[in-house]
Homo-oligomer: A and B are copies of this chain.
Amino acid sequence: MINIAILGFGVVGSGTAEVITKNRDVIKEKTNADITIKHILDLRDFPGSPYEALITHDFNEILNDSEIDIVVEAMGGAHPAYDFSKAALEAGKNVVTSNKLVVAQFGTELLEIAKKNGVRYLFEASVGGGIPIIKPMMTDLAQNRIDGVSGILNGTTNYILTQMSENGASFDEALKEAQAKGYAEADPTSDIEGHDAARKIVILAALAYGKLIAPNNIHCEGITKIDSKDVAFAEKLNGYSIKLIGHAEKADDKILAFVSPRLIPEANPLHDISDVFNGILVKCDMLGDAMFYGRGAGKLPTASAVVSDIIDIAIKSEMKAECAKWTDAEKDDIAPISNYVCAHYFRIEGCPKCMGKVFDDVESCISENGECAFITKPMTEADALASEKAFAENGIKVLSRIRVL
């Protein structure tokens, strides 16, 4: 039997309790793991809840309970989530979290502490909600060099972009609808500016390349500047969809990671992933492309991932601690985006002739209502920026530039 304590009885914490309670039989049958919730830490009391008796307001009660094998950190935010996780690991308890902020910011330190104390720090739920992606990258794909990872990592922005594409909604309309449906928070900044996706892609990059880059050290562009015209032009140009993509790859010996909207070609399996679903495409040298798809957020999906980590600890209790292995990235480990090569979508004021003042040759081009949209040949980010400048020098307004995946 494995005893756990849950820190935070909000969406993820209560979902975790629900999954463990509802599926206790199937978990035991499939894995022999017998999970008991012993404490739940929250500021509130939850009178009448079936878990009422387990509620405590004192973290020390959990920390000092030698029967607790696993602490589930489902508080969110940096503090005290980080501090409690650290204390639990130092006390020789395994920690499972859904908190991408803490993993992306303090993961290296917490993994080190876990290793030193012979326990594990697991975070399957921190990326891709319920989708199994962290453990598959650590184990099932370990015999592959990772050529690149591209993911739709944020359900809120994917919902907004889907609404813009399917219903021709403007960004503002789609955001309001997402808020009305509970898919976006009252302050949606972290989602729509790409910060959430940035935390997730640095975690995936660390698993792929062994170095954790601080999220604010990567180029991060959200979707606030995407116009419904861009969505329509992209579709017309060659059936492209527009998605917010977290991307990481090895560039020589450095790691290039960034978040930005991307035009997705029809043949790419990420093309049709819509609504709040996430998808993560992993390019492997032996296996080729593999994609993991599913619900990237939500109470029970996220809790499902949390419980998969609990089970993993329960069934591997005989093993020495087996954690993700990475170190913090140094400045020299990080490749600048300026050398990144891809085709670019431009939307400019004017006609194809205006386009011709900067580009001799493009892949495809559409002109409508005094605007011209086109896809360039593959070029570096630096050259794309130089082209923007060249348009400006010719008095031509660049309305949008979006990288093509």
Contacts and interface: CB of A to CB of B under 8 A. Distances in A.
Interface of A: 19-20, 22-23, 26-27, 29-31, 124, 130-132, 135-136, 138-145, 210, 269, 271-273, 284-295, 298, 300-301, 303-305, 307-308, 311-312, 315-316, 318-320, 322, 325
Contacts of A132: 136, 140-141, 290
B287 A301 contact: yes
Contacts of A304: 141, 143-144, 284, 286-287
18 contacts: A19-B143, A19-B286, A23-B145, A26-B143, A26-B144, A31-B142, A124-B140, A130-B286, A141-B304, A143-B308, A144-B304, A286-B307, A287-B294, A288-B301, A290-B293, A290-B295, A315-B322, A316-B316
Given A272-B272, A294-B289, A311 B19 contact: no
A311 B284 CA distance: 17
Residue from A19, A130, A271, A311 with most neighbouring chain B CB atoms (10 Å)? A130
Given A285-B23, A293-B291, A308 B142 contact: yes
B269 A139 contact: no
A27 B146 CA distance: 12
A302 B57 CA distance: 51
Residue from A143, A286, A318 with most neighbouring chain B CB atoms (10 Å)? A143
A30 B138 contact: yes
A300 B272 contact: no
Residue from A140, A145, A318 with most neighbouring chain B CB atoms (10 Å)? A140
A26 B303 CA distance: 32
Contacts of A289: 293-295
Nearest to A298: B288
Contact of A290 (B131, B138, B312, B316): B131
A143 B290 contact: no
A128 to B, nearest CB: 10
Contacts of A26: 142-145
A308 B131 contact: no
Nearest to A281: B293
A295 to B, nearest CB: 5
A139 B131 CA distance: 13
Nearest to A320: B318
A130 B318 contact: no
A10 B243 CA distance: 42
Instruction: Please give me the 6 A-B residue pairs with the lowest Cβ-Cβ distance, nearest first.
Output: A132-B140, A290-B294, A130-B287, A291-B293, A143-B307, A287-B304
Contacts of A290: 130-132, 292-295
Contacts of A139: 31, 135, 308, 311-312, 315
Contacts of A272: 269, 271-272
A293 B293 CA distance: 8
A298 B290 CA distance: 14
Contacts of A20: 143
A269 B291 CA distance: 11
A338 to B, nearest CB: 28
Contacts of A286: 19, 22-23, 130, 300-301, 303-304, 307
Nearest to A26: B145
Given A130-B287, A290-B292, A315-B322, 12 more contacts: A20-B143, A30-B325, A130-B288, A143-B304, A272-B272, A284-B304, A286-B303, A287-B295, A288-B294, A288-B295, A289-B293, A291-B294
